[in-house]
Structure 1
Amino acid sequence: MANETKLTSQALYQWLFEACNIMRGPINQDEYKSYITPLLFYKRISDNWDEEYDAALAESGGDKEYASFPEMHLLAIPDGCHWSDVRNATKDVGDRLTKAMLAIEQANQATLGGVFTSFDDASWADKNRFTDARLKDLIEHMSEHRLRNSDYPADIMGDAYEYLLKKFADLQKKTLASSSRRAAS
């Protein structure tokens, strides 16, 4: 269960960036954004779906069928593609993650077209890069906190995304500077 306590903006940024430490090793710093960004989007989509489900459940007096109707949700999450489904996977986690994100994009083509496929350089299913255990660690880390609209409005999440992009750019500059120094010597 995700922690329902809201983080300060700075703590949110740090928590998101800590996900990079889990990927350190098989993923170069300049590749972090190709992994963290779609994972952040995926988690947020699932958490917002849950928020809509909870609201519809309360509105209907506990009618789970009503709360699951597509009309109750801004975005569709196909069966087996919710964050919790991937979180519960024990093998081929990268493959499950990739298929879930692509299925969500396909189910919401008008609003999410290209959101996940634009990160096609991310190779979640490559077990030489990501063991199931490492992916499970990453997913568990991202599961520590909810990312619902009521927890973090769009402007806060936008700021978090910008923070991550800046951190990724700073890391890339350091890597390039280090490479340039080595090449010059």
Structure 2
Amino acid sequence: MVHQHQQELKKQLWNIANSLRGNMSADDFRDYILGLIFYKYLSDKLNTYADQLLSEDGIVFAKIDETTAEGQEYLEAVKEEALDKLGYFLKPAELFHVLAERGSNDKFILDDVTSVLNHIEQSTMGVDSADDFNGLFDDLDLTSNKLGKTPDARNKLIAKVLEHLDNIDFHLESSEIDILGDAYEYLIGMFASGAGKKAGEFYIMPPTSLQAKCHLPIAA
């Protein structure tokens, strides 16, 4: 089962590499993809945790109406618990799946993605996790010409990447499956064996095993 999930993960990462083929170097590819994968992970983890908190009330976090007083009360309650347990917070409208879906429907999402990444970091201000999240997404410059010559071209590319990443299931309910660690290990293995190659091209080489998986800044 674990091997099956690893193969599915590599398939999605391969699809992303093909989307970016020829656009940037392996190092630049690393900065963008690892950052967006981490955003996906944070979003899924927060969404799962929030749904657990709200389950007794029959509330689904992603469906909370942020414009109502009742919705705001639920969000404040979830935020307080999430900051204490996870060390960060996201609103329903900021979840990865929401932006990925909007991008797949040809909506312009670059500004929203940038805003969400900034908000993740800002949400940690005043809590113990602040240092861990400080500058976490600084390398994700969505205005860079490396992503495309025009805003529309950059948006199309990032939307495609988010669509592929949205298909990755981190299996947060399983202690035996470490999709995030596998993704980091696989990608960093590619960088080690493909320095200087364009994104996508260095994916034809076999992954290099690492001695240990990356440890990520998530509050216990």
TM-score by length of 1: 0.72
Residue 25 (structure 1) shift: 2.6
1:120 aligns with 2:138: yes
SS of the equivalent of 1:172 reads: coil
Residue 46 (structure 1) shift: 0.7
- Aligned equivalent of 1:27, options 24, 27, 31: 24
Partner of 2:181: 158
- Runs of at least 5 residues in structure 2 that lack an aligned partner in the other structure: 65-70, 199-220
Give 1:28-107 correspondences, 5 Å limit: 28-62=25-59, 65=71, 68=75, 69-73=78-82, 74=86, 75-78=88-91, 80-87=93-100, 88=102, 90-107=106-123
Residue 93 (structure 1) shift: 2.5
Residue 61 (structure 1) shift: 3.3
Partner of 1:145: 168
Q: Distance in 2 between matches of 1:84 and 1:53?
A: 15
SS of the equivalent of 1:56 reads: helix
Residue 154 (structure 1) shift: 7.3
Deviates more, 1:42-51 or 1:95-104: 95-104
**Aligned-pair identity (%):** 26
Deviations 1:31-88 (A, max 9, x none): 1110011101100111111111221232333375576421343231157432244322
Q: Distance in 2 between matches of 1:138 and 1:152?
A: 27
- Aligned equivalent of 2:124, options 85, 88, 108: 108
TM-score by length of 2: 0.62
Query: Number of matched residues?
Result: 170
Deviations 1:87-119 (A, max 9, x none): 225554333222211210121254264657355
CA contact (8 A) 1:93 1:136 kept: yes
- Runs of at least 5 residues in structure 1 that lack an aligned partner in the other structure: 1-5, 176-185
Deviates more, 1:13-22 or 1:97-106: 13-22
Q: Distance in 1 between matches of 2:167 and 2:178?
A: 21
Partner of 1:180: none
SS of the equivalent of 2:45 reads: helix
